[in-house]
Amino acid sequence: MITYEEARHIISESAHLLGTEEISINNSLHRILAEDIISDINIPPFNKSAMDGYACRRADLKNVLDVLEFIPAGKMPTKNIQLNQCSKIMTGASVPEGADCVIMVEQTEIIAENKIRFTASDTSNNIAYKAEDVSKGDVVLTKGTILYPPHIAVMASVGCSNPIVSKQPKIAVISTGDEIIEPNQIPGPSQIRNSNAYQLIAQINKLNCIPIYMGIAPDKPEETKKIITQALQEADVILLTGGVSMGDYDFIPQVLKEKNIDIKFQKLMVRPGSPTVFGIHNKQSIFGLPGNPVSSFVIFEMIVNPFLYQIMGCSSNIKNIKLPLAANFKRNKTDRLNWIPVTINDAGEAQLISYHGSGHIHSYCFAEGIMTIPIGIKEIKKGELVNVRPL
């Protein structure tokens, strides 16, 4: 039995990048950059008016100003601003030479044809200056960035229409056990519906990876071996759920060894999710997750999730946050790292929710995070800070 930290280290050391591909910017949401994005222009590309108004010289604000021309967005000025002159200008238009501020149209008064007066006591410059955001040649997005809508806007603004991104891992999902049936079937005596596989597929989709559902492997080693063989041919990562504990039918570790999969560990000092298996086969990774729904969910979030980000060239974008505990907490056993579902109350505290153990996946419908209780900690008082991993 090894610690969570040891397991993370072993898995991280086994990770291999999957390669890259060029895609359209239209298909890049939630993909991970495999290259730095460099700006081909200055942003703004010119001194740009930040509002509708009049471009003029600050030194002339107390004087009557002659209006030279109208400058709409997309048109270049044709006249420079000199003593007691201004040009009417629209938001986004290029500020004419000689002007050092733009006065708001609401703070002006028309006193005659093509003559205005500034009516306020002072003004901001109201100019977005050339290259104040980005200079040509700047790195605007770095390799390993997960692309969200603002990142896509940045790529578009610097002319990157076909970014190079990491390939999406293909992940085979296999449920095990004679007692498992599909959701569209009615359970008979001693049967349960297959919730784990569909939960895992949803978790995989959430990371923008590619799930491959391989079906249910019966409690027969040879048939299970066939499904694993097929999965090794199709997937970069294999997730098995169930069959990894110590029961008579928990033969998954042995089957994996017979497939020449190098088992790195079989048990973790965590709760839930202790009977977790990890192995490698060439550059493929295999995770044997516990059969209990909460255990498989939590082990995916805490172990598989950061691994998948790593093989896509990105450190996980999910960070632990420290929150005060809403009520006293106490546990009897302190020999394992404990993960407990919590919600966040209106006071910004980690609030325990009703949780009946590793079969109670319904509790996670109300969870907003997973609280970590370190090994050796028996009691936590109300108000003490705890680590919470947001969901």
Give pLDDT, residue 246: 55
Among 308, 283, 278, 172, which Cα is nearest to 231's? 172
Among 138, 136, 139, 163, which Cα is nearest to 152's? 163
Considering the chain, what percentage of its residues have pLDDT values greater than 70?
A: 98
For range 179-198, the mean pLDDT: 94
CATH number, span 321-390:
2.40.340.10
Domain 48-128 has CATH 3.30.950.10: no
CATH superfamily of 23-40+140-166: Molybdopterin biosynthesis moea protein, domain 2 (3.90.105.10)
Residues 351 and 383 sit within 8 Å (Cβ to Cβ): no
Q: What is the pTM of this model?
A: 0.90
Cα-flanking dihedrals φ and ψ of residue 357, to 5°?
A: 120, -175
What tens digit of pLDDT does each residue of 65-105 get? 999 999 999 999 999 999 999 999 999 999 999 999 999 99
Question: In the numeric block, which tokens belong to residue 46?
Answer: 């010119």
Burial 121-159 (b: 16+ CB within 10 A, else e): eebeebbbebbeebeeeeebbebbbbbeeebbebbeebe
Among 325, 366, 320, 322, which Cα is nearest to 343's? 366
Q: What is the DSSP string of 181-227?
A: E-TTSPP-TT-EE--HHHHHHHHHHHTT-EEEEEEEE-S-HHHHHHH
Give yes or no for residue 369 having a pLDDT over 70: yes
Structural domain boundaries of the chain? Answer: 4-17+167-311, 23-40+140-166, 48-128, 321-390
Q: For residue 346, what are the contacts with CB-CB under 8 A and spacing of at least 6?
A: none
Residue 281 pairs in a beta bridge with: 284
Give yes or no for residue 212 having a pLDDT over 90: yes
- The topology (CATH level 3) of 4-17+167-311 is Molybdenum Cofactor Biosythetic Enzyme; Chain A (3.40.980)
Which ranges of 207-292 does DSSP label H, i.e. alpha helix? Answer: 221-234, 252-258
Give yes or no for residue 247 having a pLDDT over 70: no
CA-based end-to-end distance of the chain: 27
What tens digit of pLDDT does each residue of 323-342 get? 999 999 999 999 999 999 99
What tens digit of pLDDT does each residue of 127-180 get? 999 999 999 999 999 999 999 999 999 999 999 999 999 999 999 999 998 999
Amino acid at residue number 63: N
